[in-house]
A and B are shown apart, each in its own frame.
Chain A
Amino acid sequence: MLEMVRQQMICIIAPGWRGAVDFSDSGDMQSALNALFEDVAVVQFASIALLPARTDAEEQAPLLMLELAVEEGIDPKDMLYRLVHHPSGAMWSLFSSYWPGGGPPLVSARNGQLFDKLIGWLSLADGGFVGPRDRTARQIRKERDLLIWTRDEGRKLKAMYGDDRASFALALAQRAFQDPRFDWAMQPAPRSYWRGKGASISAKVGYGLVVFGLWLALVWLVGALPKGLFGAITWFVGASWPDVQSVVDVISRVSMWIVWASVRALLAFVALLFLGWLLLVALPALFAPWRRWVDSVRRELERPTETWSSFSTRVVGWIVGVPLLLAILACAVVFVFYPKPIMEGITALTARVPGWELALFGVLAIAALLCIGTFFSWINRRFEALSKWFFHPYEEDVTRAQQVHPSIDQCEALLASGTAHMISLTDIRSPNGWSAWWIRVSLRVVTFFGRVFFTEGRLGDAPGIHFGHWHIIEDGRRFLFCSNYDGNFGGYLDDFINGATIGTTLAWRWTTLRPRGSAAVGQPDIKTPRDFPPTRFVLFRGVKCELKFKSYARDSMLPHMYRFDACNATIEEIDLATGLRDALFGERNDRNDDFIMRAIET
């Protein structure tokens, strides 16, 4: 499932680039690549940039990066095959510098060699998010045409229908139905499972339970089948084979152990979820002091600067929070793999202490926590001076004003009227293997949540991401991030800082910026090393050091030399056009009528 997302965003990282290709408007390459991607019709975004070589790399020539954001379900190999074997030969023109002698005389042979090379340089996204899901470039264009047509028709019909919304919408729908150009819109806009039948939480939970049930059935069958068959054979033949019997018994016992361990793992998972929900959702909703306390802890953990408050929160976190969390997790693990001591402990406890006493103890514990929260809240209000000193004024220690490289400015200016684009290249902290592993795990988690839960174009609370993808490249030495997004850079990073804080921190926290030269004349370099803003307890702070993070991100950026945007539409426009299609060709009701009116007025 995650691979489906990952292979939508690919990069070709070609090392040792010594080509002299003219990517400017006046050159042939730009028009050739545009024509290629237009003709292939499944590439939504593409870009080309030069990545500077690492200072410790053997090959000091820059790397050429070709970023491709393609439609869902296409295997990257099939995609590359199509691009390389396209009769225009545009891909060969781009990469022909790798064959100084001009390559083999036969087109098929040279395409074959190029294909093999590109497959070797192929990098699938290690994580990514796709905002406008389930739409092809062709569909987006057609739906946009429908939107424009509807607006034109709306203008013509407005005088006739005035404020009669239902009649107005009906007239528009009738005209759309009668127009043969829109036959394709009779079918509702396609939706993949997680946006369609599987969109509700109950469907997602149900899916998980079905998969879990199938797993249990499979494991049980592995044990039960040999046992049943062997039992039947020994009964039928009337003889016994003790050696075989012992092997069958072992298989059966192991299978049953896995079944029960799986059940216990599910119970432990549900219990942990319940605990998290109780502490972070239910109690804050019921008791204001608790809510204030949770908010305060979160604020302190994410506070960009070091204050007494954040320092003490961290210390208490290390002394109380982390051991408590580890203890709970250890209990869960023990419960899953060796439940005997925990079950005996629970049995002994319930035998000694009646149930009402345990319930009372729980209530008292929560009340005690509430009292502590209330007490600190009272201290804050009562001793203002102390509170001010303790919480210290909010101030970030950024030592310099951020200077954006002119080439980055120029690229952003070129894209000001379209979908913005960002390429960031950072180094992975030492030890590389360890850091790369953590980044990969974090990115898989982010990708999973993006695929299953954030299905309507927003990652967390961050809107406007078309295709955002992360790649671990050069054997885990460097980290590449490419994003195609709506709006401008500042607003985009704000969305991440405020909307997807933990995910962004997780993706970047194991990175650093080491000195590097510029990839080409007029491109940015890095003279002094920089670190990603410090984090607290892995997940917190990081990107919340807003100025530091933005400065870090800016310094890591590289300009593009070529850019292709198949649709040039914002996610809002795309959603609007898709919604209009469904509303115009769906049943006539207030909701659809209202949507049509809003669409033609937007």
Chain B
Amino acid sequence: MKISAGTPDAMPPGLRSLSYGIFCWANRRPRALRAVGALFRLWPFAGGWFGMAARASAVKGVLTRPQSFSNSAHAANLAAGDYLIGMDPGPTYHDDRRLLDDRLALLAASLPAAADQEVQRRVEQLGQLGANKSFDLIDDYLMWIVFRSMDPLFGAATGKVVAGAHGNATDPGLQRQYLLEIRYVAGQLLAGSTATLRVQRRAELCSDALRARIAAVSRDIQQAWGVPSTASTITRNAAGLAWISHPVTVQSGALAVQELLRRSKVHRALRAEAQRLGPAGVWQNAKFRDLVREHVLELMRFRPIFPLLARDVPRDTEFETGARHNAPCSAGGKMAIWSIAALFDSRVVKKSGQFCPARNWGPHQDLRWLMFGYGIRQCPAKDYAVEILTSALIGLLILPELRLTRGEGKAIAYDGPLMSRMRVNFV
């Protein structure tokens, strides 16, 4: 039970809405963040005053020192209870990490075939829509592809996790309810303590529901996983795995497509290549898949889901900003990592502002995946996420050309920093 749940707002009325509004605004506009990040890269000492690492070297330096710059900064935002992402290394962390790696290993066997299969099914359904009919890229496409692709995570227990202990596993409404629930829990990780009370409490409500849902089927999950862990370990890992795996991948996919639709030349070139290969060929051609994967990574570089990351500072230390002097960090404080600034650092990425999927990163190849973190705390599921999104993007390329819907209100709707709707139709 989380005693911090329901903490009242200690900020003056209006101030939280204002600060949250600014945060969301900045999150939706990565170009604005990149511009500010460029200033911090140019004058790294200024970033140091505010405890911000912006240069690629500084960001790498901080992320490779997890003992000095702790992931526990995330812990307060884990509405569904403690999970790996907010833990410091220790017995629990290592045990949970082993469990997670075992689950993810199953994805290696099933991907990309499972993703391709679901994409083909969705493409067939959407292909029957006319040019005037719009659909929601998140709710009608990405959400289901990621969901089906991640089936092996819960194995035989997936149906019960989704529909509840006594629910009908084929009820699409129950599936949608589950996917919405975990979306709001994940949203709290992104919005954090800046979120308004309403957003925080919604995440807490959904977290309670998720925990209750998992607790009710923990024996089924245990059997499906085939591990002798205790019920609390199963519940903690199952809840964590549920909310972090699916929504974050879906959001990343939506952001990547949003960026792609802005770049019509790139989009058309990819579509031309897909057309050349034909609807069947795109799934067999390894070179094309590599090309699309490169595009996904480049699109994610321009719109990373976590442009900024926070870290706790457990003891007095300092970090290399890139300026003449290191920046001191006091114990008990926090510092911010500007991943979005590091991804565009022209010291390591030549012509960083250009969209160039085929760029040779040379000795900085590891930085290519910086949007997934860096070092030993880098996202362990990054390869699978990119594989799923690659399949999803290939599916979109063989459909008729997409554009954001016009004349039905805003095509893209946000719920705080998260994209909740992205209506598109065929040209």
| Residues of A in contact with B (beta carbons under 8 Å apart) | 1, 4, 39-42, 71-75, 78-79, 82, 85-87, 106-109, 111-112, 133-134, 136, 138-139, 142, 184, 187, 190-193, 196-198, 207, 211
Contact = CB atoms under 8 A, between A and B. Distances in A.
Interface stretch (B139-147, B167-175, B251-259, B398-406): B167-175
Contact of A142 (B3, B12, B168, B200): B3
Interface of B: 1, 3-14, 164-168, 171-174, 176-177, 197-198, 200-202, 205-206, 208-209, 212-213, 216
A225 B165 CA distance: 61
A259 to B, nearest CB: 20
A111 B164 CA distance: 14
B202 A78 contact: yes
Contacts of A106: 168, 171, 173
Given A42-B6, A184-B3, A193-B11, A73 B208 contact: no
B173 A107 contact: yes
Contacts of B11: 193
Contact of A108 (B172, B198, B208): B172
Contacts of A82: 205-206, 208-209
Nearest to B13: A1
Contacts of A87: 164-167, 212-213, 216
Contacts of B165: 87
Contacts of B208: 40-42, 82
Nearest to B208: A41
A4 B5 CA distance: 17
Contacts of A42: 6, 201, 205, 208
Contacts of B1: 138
Contact of A211 (B14, B200, B201, B216): B14
Contact of A111 (B172, B173, B198, B201): B173
A133 B8 contact: yes
A72 B13 contact: no
B10 A136 contact: no
Contacts of A142: 3
B162 to A, nearest CB: 11
A142 B7 CA distance: 15
A142 B6 CA distance: 14
A41 B3 CA distance: 12
Contact of A134 (B3, B8, B172, B212): B8
Nearest to A111: B173
Contacts of A109: 173
Contacts of A72: 6, 8, 197, 201
Which of B6, B201, B213 gathers most chain A CB within 10 Å? B6
A207 B197 contact: no
A556 B167 CA distance: 44
Given A85-B177, A107-B173, A108-B176, A73 B5 contact: no
Contacts of B13: 1, 193
Contacts of B168: 106-107
B12 A198 contact: yes
Given A74-B201, A82-B205, A87-B164, A191 B8 contact: yes
B3 A39 contact: no
A118 B165 CA distance: 26
A190 B7 CA distance: 6
A181 B233 CA distance: 19
Contacts of B174: 107-108
Given A82-B205, A87-B213, A87-B216, A108 B8 contact: no
B239 to A, nearest CB: 16
Given A73-B198, A75-B198, A75-B202, A193 B12 contact: yes
Contacts of B200: 73
B70 to A, nearest CB: 19
A312 B293 CA distance: 90
Nearest to B8: A192
Contacts of B3: 138-139, 142, 184, 187
A198 B4 CA distance: 21
B201 A192 contact: no
Nearest to A206: B12
Nearest to A110: B173
Contacts of B8: 72-73, 133-134, 190-192
A422 to B, nearest CB: 26
A525 to B, nearest CB: 40
